[in-house]
Chain A
């Protein structure tokens, strides 16, 4: 059940009351039972998978320090987890039987064994086993508490990816205070605002561009690709706001996943601010080990580490050429930034800092948007159509309104154009105020006016249809 679905949000206060009246030492049991209920009620198959996967990881982690061949146990466990990930994500069925789906990208949920959240908690299990093997953490002794770590309802569907050493101790004695409730409530409302007022309004605009790529002009496609980047940000960061806010109501602190990434002045800074927990996982378990082993080769080691890391990240997001190109583009951007670091510092010293920073931010945004063309395109044919459209002369046959705005707005009527204009106003005002909004919430205070404005906008302008379809639930 998604975190913003109406049944869940209605049931949440009841859960919280049960949780509050349970002795602190047993509250984790309430969280576990509710997490399992939430997964199993709608997807019994997903419940079976998370229980089996957690039992397997728990047993392997307990065996690693005790048995004679810890490396063998680790390797076998990692290989089995990897095979399970490939099977559950990419094997599909048709009349001729099972087959491995390699052709198209990952925007799909029709694989035969599709189980929500699996690719997220599998990464956490892999990281946990590696950490236990290297002695960075002790293996968890309580199998049910480990199951809660895997299935905790606030983060189960799409993260944030958590480290057991950070999350497991919090389950021992969760005791939310008034500040937690105030913080959690404000993050939840902010998440609903971003999802219902911004992301859900952007979704049809983006769909019009990606669904009609062969007939649109260059500026429209360019705007559509940029708007997709904004939609992805609002959608996924809204999901994370909900996850963090809901967890906080129960006294659990989850990791931040976004840190104003749209204002990054380089792609490497962007990756330190976008989907932070995933990139931290890839940096810790893939990039650093690869570069460490090759470190005597200097820059070549860094380039090899970046390329391998993004290739695996691309495969994790989806099998297919579009994700391959997306990952290679980011590897290319970061390789360039790594090689040109000193040159760019020299350029920065020659220009006024504000001008250079604004230019760098604009360029970074354009580069990220270009890579997202492949991230969003359903397949290579659609990506090719979009690229061809980008080379068309803008407004060749039609004016600004009919050639550019009408295809985005879904028609040239005044009402449609007005709605599109209002969406742009909301986005710009929100992005301008975003740092201030988060800063206020992070102070721990309760900002009633801010909360009221967000709630008012949700009720008046929010899109309630398809409320529960977050983009990152597909991965």
Chain B
């Protein structure tokens, strides 16, 4: 697991209150219990704070899995 994914994992574990949670690039709303439209923006806000980035609404609405989020973090940092 690379560093960015590890860091993202800690945010997921904190937001969904599951310390044992392990995510992969393919983890999505279907595979992560509790990840739905009610929690999606809270997850996004936590990720923005952790990685010190700002996502656009368009990006946020097209995140389908953890890999999409990591790609957007990379794009917004550069």
Chain A residues at the B interface, C-beta cutoff of 8 Å: 134-136, 268, 272, 283-284, 287-289, 291-292, 295-296, 298-299, 301-302, 305-306, 334, 337-338, 341-342, 345
Contacts and interface: CB of A to CB of B under 8 A. Distances in A.
Contacts of A299: 42
22 contacts: A268-B38, A272-B36, A287-B37, A288-B37, A288-B41, A288-B60, A291-B41, A292-B60, A295-B41, A295-B45, A295-B48, A298-B42, A299-B42, A301-B41, A302-B39, A302-B41, A302-B42, A305-B41, A306-B38, A338-B39, A341-B38, A342-B17
B73 interface: no
Contacts of B60: 288, 292
Given A268-B36, A283-B37, A342-B17, A295 B42 contact: yes
B62 to A, nearest CB: 9
B33 interface: yes
Contacts of A337: 38
Contact of B34 (A134, A298, A341): A341
Given A272-B36, A283-B37, 5 more contacts: A288-B41, A292-B57, A295-B48, A301-B42, A342-B17
Contacts of B44: 292, 295
A442 B6 CA distance: 40
Nearest to A309: B37
A284 B61 CA distance: 8
Contacts of A301: 41-42
A129 to B, nearest CB: 15
Nearest to A294: B41
Nearest to A342: B17
Contacts of A292: 41, 44, 57, 60
A301 to B, nearest CB: 6
B56 to A, nearest CB: 9
The 9 nearest A-B residue pairs measured at CB: A295-B45, A291-B41, A338-B38, A295-B41, A292-B57, A342-B17, A288-B61, A302-B38, A283-B37
A288 B38 CA distance: 10
Contacts of A298: 42, 45
Contacts of B57: 134, 288-289, 292
Nearest to A337: B38
Nearest to A303: B38
Contacts of B36: 268, 272
Interface string B39-64: 10110110010000000011011000
B34 A296 contact: no
B12 to A, nearest CB: 14
